[in-house]
Amino acid sequence: MRAKAWRWLGLPCCIGIGRSKTEAKIANHLAKKNKFFNGVCNLAHMDPCSTETLLAQVDVSEVWGVGRQNCKKLNTMGVQSVLDLINANPKEIKKQFSIVMEKTVLELQGLSCIDLSDDTVAKKQIISSRSYGNPVYEMDDIKASVRLYVARAVKRMREDGSICKMIGVYIQTSRFDNTERYSPYIVVQMHEHTDDLLLITKAAMKGIDQIFKKGFKYKKAGIVLLEITDQSKFVPDLFTDYSHKQERERLSDAIEAISERFGKNLVTLGIANNKEATWHMNQNLRSPSYLTKWSDLPRVG
């Protein structure tokens, strides 16, 4: 598989093999970090002593599903490495955290608890956020970036055939800055479930108006679409204006069609895609998109 990926696409990759999903992901991490594996790490058939030696050197934060806050709590319990987590009592971990963390421990111990499934599960929330290339001080710049994040999230939601009723909005100062920090988060509820880009954007702007404070240099902003449900199963309110709803649906379809044909973010709400805006991410070191952009393909001859 590695050889074909390299020969056909020119893409280097590593393979991790384990008795469970979580163990396979750790195996993949080991394959990436240790050249002697030659890109393939098989924990299922590795000598137990060698496995323990390797896992004792991997920080517990590398485990799939262990977030920053969980990692801090595990460290206070004396769980520093992946091996420490494997040796932990699953029942005790469940008491301290949740059944999800218990399953993580069992998976690392070789017991498969997470099914392999090809079925796409409907998302319970959709997040769209970016860090700013430079600190942002003005509300207008934050609103411009958030309008772009909303458009991206709504596009993903519409592709899933879903609608939402609430949107969470947050802005953050840098957590590495020694000055005063400010990281507010607010949830704005809409009248009913919708995938209308205009309505969702309006709700997001309302959220920014409520949480923005002058005097801070903001480093990140983002939105979260919440209370997502399947559009085909949703029953509109009795007093819904269907003619207006259909007009807005056609408008959303038109915006998507233009983006598909002429490029994404060509049509935006307000000034949201100004290439010269300082809040855009720094992507000077981004890898070429060989599989999605013809312009990035290397020329031969």
| Contact indicator for 222, 203 with CB cutoff of 8 Å | no
Instruction: Give pLDDT, residue 126.
Output: 92
Euclidean distance between the first and the last CA atom of the chain, given in angstroms as a whole number:
28
Digit-coded pLDDT (tens) for 176-214: 877 788 999 999 999 888 888 899 999 999 999 999 999
Task: Please give the average per-residue pLDDT across 270-292, as a whole number.
Answer: 66
Digit-coded pLDDT (tens) for 267-277: 777 765 666 66
Instruction: Give pLDDT, residue 54.
Output: 94
Digit-coded pLDDT (tens) for 129-168: 988 888 889 899 899 999 999 999 998 998 888 999 999 9
Q: What's the chain's average pLDDT?
A: 86
User: Does the structure show a pLDDT above 50 at 118?
Assistant: no
pTM: 0.56
Residue 263 or 200, more confident: 200
Task: Please give the average per-residue pLDDT across 30-55, as a whole number.
Answer: 93
User: Does the structure show a pLDDT above 60 at 119?
Assistant: no
Instruction: Give the C-alpha separation, 152 to 148, whole Å.
Output: 6
Residue 57 or 282, more confident: 57
- Indicate the pLDDT class of residue 283, thresholds 50, 70 and 90: low
| Contact indicator for 119, 128 with CB cutoff of 8 Å | no
Instruction: Give the C-alpha separation, 293 to 54, whole Å.
Output: 39
Instruction: Give pLDDT, residue 16.
Output: 95
The structural domains of the chain, ordered by start, are: 2-108 (1.10.150.20), 126-262 (3.30.1490.100)
Q: Nearest 5°: phi and psi at 50?
A: -65, -40
